[in-house]
Structure 1
Amino acid sequence: MRLTILNDNTPSRGFINDWGWSVLAEGRHRFLFDADTRGEVLAHNSRVLGLSLKNLDFAVLSHWHYDHYGGFEYIAKLNPGLRLYAPPGGRIEELSVVEVHSAGEITDGIWTSGALDGFEHAVGVETPSGLVVIVGCSHPGVDRLTKAILEVSGYEQAHLVIGGFHYPSRRTLDRLAEIAEFIAPAHCSGDEAKAYVRRRYPEKFVEVRTGSVLEV
């Protein structure tokens, strides 16, 4: 599976960057996880990367904060009627919103944690290397979201956890390190969390930014 970071808080030369998060996942299924704040960011960065954002199988919204759903209006123009798996609480014109309440399998080899605290969910994707967990902002806790994915998928450990960790405590990161082989803090994780994982778990730390491409 290939993960392409269409936007992260950390910029890269040649890309448009703002506060937000969006990842294109391409493997057995091709889907977008979150859509940043603005469609023009996704349009520009996908062109730079040589990617089309048409013909997606579905999309996932972690939670209804603008830095995660703002670009879905643009995605809807490219993919009218696309299924969007999201927690309850909102809708986007021209997308078919499927409300996520409980943990379960979205499609073959992809699971949702369910909307923890009724607010936010994450997804787990089965890959040849193991389970990849993609999170948005992790308001309920990146460790809790990851554990929920492991429980519903039947995996004992995540191969990779990537996304925003919402300025986690060191204790939260320690718990995450116990159940994840690799850790890629991004978006709202904060410099302190990145520095801690890099220092405490150098063998697990994966650096990502806008334009990063990970092959799993």
Structure 2
Amino acid sequence: MKVSVLVDNSSEKNFSCEHGLSLYIESGEKKIIFDLGQSDIFLDSLKKLNGKIEDVDYIFISHGHYDHMGGLLHLNHNLIREKVYISAYSIGTFYYKKFGVTKEISPSDLVISRAQMGHKVKNTRDVPVEIDENIYLLSVTKEKSKKNKFYKKYLDDMLVDDFVHEMFLIIREEGKYYIFTGCAHCNILEVIDRVKEVFNITEIEGVIGGLHTRSKIYNLGQSSEFARSLKEKNVKQLILGHCTGKLFRSYLKIKLKNVQKLSAGKVFEI
């Protein structure tokens, strides 16, 4: 499997970066884009890496936040209708609340209208949706938390976001399983456990993407427990970026060793 980084919070020389994520995955004969960042940077990176958007078989959107689906604005309508897959629950309004300040983190209305053209996946938590042979989308039940920061709008109410709209891409290649994550708001530890249970396996070859762990670095006890738990999950490769946080990724690398850095322009053979 070959994974090329189109968008990340950091970049290699001659590549642009932004707060977002987009990965170009070549598995067998299939070409996949996972997430689109927030602008047209993914297209520029794809071109620099000698890829063509017309050759892509599937485009998956992990969840309904601007930094993962904003790039829809730069795809033509036919391509969206044919190749884009997004959770039906991602078509909504989402918020982030911190220190009493509420910020909308949905993409623009125009992006949402384009998302409506794609294949809307009616995902059910903890039950995989088979898109193609060896390609699955999976949503995982979010653990309850007293520190809620994410919300969604339902009618005229603002509810705690349960992240039913967040989907993980699972690819099986040569008997090995890879998990692609946009942000893992529901906790990557829970995701790994659920993938093992669903597919009846004991190890994961790779976890690639964002873990939404930036804040954990400020709590040493929490960081240590997370690293210990992750080490026990038997994941061979961790290729992390975006919302993982630079400091926390460095911490995990010290503790686990098998951690690599996502960066726009990087190419991984895994």
* TM surpasses 0.5: yes
Q: Is the 8 A contact 2:36 2:71 kept in 1?
A: yes
Count of residue pairs brought into register by the alignment: 214
Distance (Å, rounded) in 2 between the aligned partners of 1:2 and 1:174: 28
Moved over 6 A (4+): none
Q: Is the 8 A contact 1:177 1:183 kept in 2?
A: no
Unmatched runs of 5 consecutive residues or more in structure 2: 92-111, 143-163, 217-221
Amino acid at match of 1:63: H
Q: Partner of 1:26 in structure 2?
A: 26
Q: Does 1:125 align with 2:171?
A: yes
Q: Does 1:44 align with 2:54?
A: no
Q: Is the 8 A contact 1:20 1:36 kept in 2?
A: yes
Q: Work out the percentage of aligned pairs sharing the same amino acid.
A: 21
Could you give the per-residue CA deviations for residues 101-121 of structure 1, whole angstroms, max 9, x where no partner exists? 232133211222225342312
The equivalent position to 2:191 in structure 1, one of 132, 142, 145, is 145
User: Displacement of 1:136 after TM fit?
Assistant: 0.5
User: Displacement of 1:42 after TM fit?
Assistant: 1.4
Which stretch shifts more, 77-86 or 42-51?
A: 77-86
Q: Partner of 1:158 in structure 2?
A: 204
The alpha-carbon distance between structure 1 residues 38 and 135, as it changes in their structure 2 partners (threshold 3 A), is: same
Distance (Å, rounded) in 2 between the aligned partners of 1:107 and 1:116: 23
Which stretch shifts more, 90-99 or 6-15?
A: 90-99
Unmatched runs of 5 consecutive residues or more in structure 1: none
Q: Does 1:100 align with 2:123?
A: yes
The alpha-carbon distance between structure 1 residues 61 and 174, as it changes in their structure 2 partners (threshold 3 A), is: farther
3-state SS of 2:37 partner: coil
Distance (Å, rounded) in 1 between the aligned partners of 2:231 and 2:78: 38
3-state SS of 2:54 partner: coil
Task: Give the root-mean-square deviation of aligned CA atoms.
Answer: 2.0
Distance (Å, rounded) in 2 between the aligned partners of 1:122 and 1:151: 15
Distance (Å, rounded) in 2 between the aligned partners of 1:87 and 1:142: 22
Could you give the per-residue CA deviations for residues 191-215 of structure 1, whole angstroms, max 9, x where no partner exists? 222111211111x112221111111
Amino acid at match of 2:46: S
Distance (Å, rounded) in 2 between the aligned partners of 1:158 and 1:113: 15
The equivalent position to 2:254 in structure 1, one of 199, 205, 208, is 199
Task: Calculate the TM-score normalised by the size of structure 1.
Answer: 0.90
Which stretch shifts more, 64-73 or 109-118?
A: 109-118
Q: Partner of 2:2 in structure 1?
A: 2
- Which of the pair has more CA radius of gyration? 2
